């Protein structure tokens, strides 16, 4: 089994929203996203999709996008992004997810010896008191996610975020510090668009950091682990 990651699909089947307004890196979207996925992912693989999955505002509008993802090869693990306004309560979401598709919120998942934990994250440093509250909640969500792994057997751990877990200067945040304490094999994140991945932090305490925003990857999921 191989573990891949790709964030920010920004699908919009019900209310199409051309992504080219966000720059030439989105040329050919969303067909390029589906084509890139099929080029590398096989049925036995695991793919992490950490956020900004659909532009939909309500769950019924997001379901066609979820079904499009479900039709792609591999098993999928979803995390919420800042644009996933359609994301309902986790119990309601899990009730409609197709087989082979999982969603994380305040918990973790173990599949074939691979553990996946994580949370959305938030802007750092928080610019307002309200943002400080949101960031503190995200720290607690990550704590709960990692705690859910206690007593579970696994060989590999990947921690996933939507927002980068470091500050604008590459400085560590409480989220990155907490993730590193769990000693994962990799940390993945999305959200950043139009940036040069080579200029971003590549590791923290020896743990690889992977930017997996779809446009940064040329719409081809990035291989994170070989299991």
Gap between the Cα atoms of 188 and 118, Å rounded:
9
**pLDDT given for residue 17 in this prediction:** 85
Residues 108-151: tens digit of each pLDDT: 999 999 999 999 999 999 999 999 999 999 999 999 999 999 99
The answer, yes or no, to whether residue 42 has pLDDT greater than 80, is yes
The average pLDDT across 12-22 equals 85
User: In this prediction, what percent of the chain has a pLDDT beyond 90?
Assistant: 93
**pLDDT given for residue 16 in this prediction:** 87
Question: For 199, phi and psi rounded to 5 degrees?
Answer: -90, 0
**pLDDT given for residue 23 in this prediction:** 81
**What's the Rg (C-alpha) of the chain?**
16
Residues 149-166: tens digit of each pLDDT: 999 999 999 999 999 999
The answer, yes or no, to whether residue 195 has pLDDT greater than 80, is yes
| Confidence category of residue 97, pLDDT binned at 50, 70, 90 | very high
The answer, yes or no, to whether residue 22 has pLDDT greater than 90, is no
Contact criterion met (CB below 8 Å) for 52 and 83: yes
Kindly give the interhelix angle for 174-181 and 129-147, rounded to the nearest 10 degrees.
10
| Confidence category of residue 25, pLDDT binned at 50, 70, 90 | confident
List of domains in the chain? 2-226 (3.60.21.10)
pTM: 0.97
| Confidence category of residue 18, pLDDT binned at 50, 70, 90 | confident
- Strand-pairing partners, residue 186, are 158
User: In this prediction, what percent of the chain has a pLDDT beyond 70?
Assistant: 100
Contact criterion met (CB below 8 Å) for 106 and 113: no
**Distance from the Cα of residue 82 to its chain's centroid:** 11
């Amino acid at each position: 089994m191989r573990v891949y990651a790709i964030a920010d699909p920004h699908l919009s089947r019900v209310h199409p929203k051309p992504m080219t307004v966000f720059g030439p890196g989105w040329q050919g979207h969303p067909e390029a996203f589906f084509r890139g996925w099929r080029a590398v992912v096989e049925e036995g693989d695991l793919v992490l999709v950490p956020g900004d999955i659909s532009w939909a505002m309500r769950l019924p509008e997001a379901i066609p996008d979820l079904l499009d993802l479900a039709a792609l090869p591999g098993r999928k693990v979803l995390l919420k992004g800042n644009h996933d306004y359609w994301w309902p309560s986790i119990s309601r979401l899990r009730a409609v997810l197709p087989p082979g598709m999982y969603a994380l919120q305040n918990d973790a998942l173990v599949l074939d010896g691979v553990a996946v934990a994580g949370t959305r994250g938030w802007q750092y440093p928080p610019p307002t008191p309200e943002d400080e509250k949101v960031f503190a909640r995200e720290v607690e969500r990550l704590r709960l996610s990692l705690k859910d792994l206690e007593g579970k057997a696994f060989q590999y751990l990947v921690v996933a975020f939507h927002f980068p877990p470091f500050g604008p200067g590459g400085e560590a945040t409480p989220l990155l510090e907490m993730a590193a304490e769990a000693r994962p094999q990799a940390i993945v994140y999305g959200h950043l668009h139009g940036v040069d991945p080579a200029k971003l932090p590549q590791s923290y305490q020896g743990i690889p950091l992977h930017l997996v925003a779809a446009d940064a990857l040329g719409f081809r999921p990035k291989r994170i682990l070989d299991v």
